[in-house]
Amino acid sequence: MALLQTIVHLDPRLLAIVGGVTACFYVHTYPMRGDVGLVLELALAVASFAYDRNVVGSSVNNALSFALSMVSLNYLSLAVATICWRLSPFHPLARFPGPVINKITSMKLAFVTWSGKRHLVVQGLHEKYGTIVRTGPNTLSINSQSAIGPVYSSAQAYSKSHAYIPGKFSGDGLFFIRPRDVHSVRRKHWAPAFTPTSVASYKPIIEKRTNQLMNTISKRRAGHGIVDLSEAIQHWSYDVMGELTFGKANRLELMKDNDLGNYVDSGQSATVAFEVLGTVPALFDIIWHFPMTKTIGILGNLAGSLLATRSKSNEGRSDDIASYLLGEHDESLPKLSFDDLRLDVLFGIQAGSDTTAGVLIFMFYYLLSHMESYNRLREELDDAFPDYDAPLNREILMELPYLSAVVEESLRLGTPFPGLPRVTPKGGATLAGTYIPEDTIIGVPAYSQSIHPENFWPEPESFRPERWLPGGLGPGSRASKQAVLAFSWGPFGCLGKPLALQELRVVAAKMLLTFDLKLSPDFDDDKFVHGIQNMRTTIFKYPLRVLATPRHEL
Sequential pLDDT tens for the chain (554 residues): 444 444 455 678 888 888 888 888 888 888 888 788 888 888 888 988 998 888 888 899 998 999 899 899 988 999 999 999 999 999 999 999 999 999 999 999 999 999 999 999 999 999 999 999 999 999 999 999 999 999 998 778 899 988 887 556 677 888 888 888 888 888 999 999 999 999 999 999 999 999 999 999 999 987 789 999 999 999 999 999 999 999 999 999 999 999 988 999 988 988 888 888 888 887 777 777 665 566 567 888 888 899 999 988 766 557 899 999 998 888 888 889 999 999 899 888 988 999 999 999 999 999 999 999 999 999 999 999 998 888 999 899 999 999 999 999 999 999 767 678 999 999 999 999 999 999 999 999 999 999 999 999 999 999 999 999 999 999 999 999 999 999 988 888 999 999 999 999 999 999 999 999 999 999 999 999 999 999 888 999 999 999 999 998 65
Angle between helices 371-384 and 401-414 (to 10 degrees): 140
- Those residues with Cβ within 8 angstroms of residue 297's Cβ, 6 or more apart along the chain or in another chain: 266, 270
Beta bridge partners of 429: 436
Residue 159 DSSP label: P
Sign of CA dihedral 487, 493, 496, 498: positive
DSSP 468: G
pLDDT at 1: 46
What CA–CA distance (Å, rounded) separates 236 from 353? 8
The Cα–Cα gap between 253 and 260 comes to 10
- DSSP conformational letter for 495: T
Q: pTM of the full predicted structure? A: 0.92
- Distance, in Å, from the CA atom of 302 to the CA atom of 261, rounded to the nearest integer, reads 9
178: CB partners within 8 A, 6+ apart:
159, 160, 161, 162, 164, 165
Number of other residues whose CB lies within 10 A of the CB of residue 501? 18
Q: Kindly report whether the peptide bond that precedes residue 92 is cis, defined as omega within 30 degrees of 0.
A: no
Task: Please choose, from the candidates 409, 402, 406, 361, the residue with its C-alpha nearest in 3D space to the C-alpha of residue 382.
Answer: 402
Cα separation, 464 vs 115, whole angstroms? 28
Rounded CA-CA distance 142/431 in Å is 8
**CB distance 85 to 24 below 8 Å:** yes
Residue pair 85/110 in contact by the 8 Å Cβ criterion: no
**pLDDT value of position 157:** 86
Beta bridge partners of 422: 160, 442
User: CA–CA separation, 437 vs 429, rounded Å?
Assistant: 7
Q: Which of 202, 194, 203 is nearest to 394 (CA)?
A: 203
Residue 494 annotated as lining a ligand binding site: yes
pLDDT of residue 366: 98
Tell me how far CA of residue 188 lies from CA of 97, 314, 345, in angstroms: 41, 24, 15
User: Do strands 139-142 and 441-443 pair parallel, antiparallel, or not at all (unpaired)?
Assistant: parallel
* 431 backbone dihedrals φ, ψ, rounded to 5°: -130, 140
Alpha-carbon Rg of the chain, whole angstroms?
Answer: 27
Check residue 151 and report its DSSP letter: I
Q: What is the C-alpha to C-alpha distance for residues 272 and 277, in angstroms, rounded to an integer? A: 8
Q: Which of 464, 489, 490 is nearest to 477 (CA)?
A: 464
Please report, as a single letter, which amino acid is at residue 31.
Answer: P
First to last CA, the chain: 92
What's the chain's length in residues? 554
How far is the C-alpha of 396 from the C-alpha of 390, rounded, in Å? 13
Domain architecture of the chain: domains with CATH = 2-87 (no CATH), 178-408+491-550 (1.10.630.10)
Residue 506: closest CA among 410, 406, 394, 340: 394
H or E element in which residue 163 lies: none
Angle at 185 between CA 183 and CA 189, to 5 degrees: 105
> Which of 164, 179, 122 has the alpha carbon at shortest distance from 420?
164
Do residues 357 and 233 lie in contact, with contact meaning Cβ atoms separated by under 8 Å?
Answer: yes
